[in-house]
Amino acid sequence: MYGNTAHNIYAQNNIGVESPAKLIEMLYEGVLRFNAQAKKAMKDKNVEKRVYWMNRSLAVITELISTLDMSQGDIAGYLEGLYNYQIQLIVEAGHEQSIEKIDECSNVFKVLLEAWRETSDVA
C-alpha cells in the first residue's frame, strides 16, 4: 500500500530499515514519542519545546499521507482521512493547549501501531 518514498528518504539519511513495513512501524512509534514529548512540554509550559515536538509529529503524519498508494483501494482513502484528522487534532491541541487532543491522537496511533504489527506478523 505504501510506496518506497519513505523508505528511500530514510535510507538516504543512513537509517537502516529492514523493510517498508518496518518503516511504517517506526513512523507510528515516532508520532507516539513526539506526542508524549509535546504533552510533557505542554505540562511544563515550555512553548518552544511544545511547538518543536508537535511539528515533528505533524511532519511524520504528513510523510505517512504522502506515502499512501491510493491505487490500493478504500483503505488508503480511509487512512488519508484519518491521518488528516490527526493533523487537525494536533493543530487544535496547540492552539487550545489541549492535552486531551494530544491524547486522542496518541490513542489512534497506538491502535494503528498494534494493528500494523499484527498484520505485519501475519504477512
| Three-state secondary structure call for residue 94 | helix
**What is residue 14's predicted lDDT score, i.e. its pLDDT?**
46
10-residue mean pLDDT profile of the chain (123 residues): values are 51 61 94 98 97 97 94 94 98 96 98 93 66
**What is residue 2's predicted lDDT score, i.e. its pLDDT?**
46
Q: Which residues contact 100 (CB under 8 A, 6 or more apart)?
A: 93
| E strand map for 64-121 | none
φ and ψ of 67, to 5 deg: -95, 0
Tell me if 102 sits within 8 A of 38, measured CB to CB: yes
Domains, in order of start, for the chain: 5-122 (1.20.120.340)
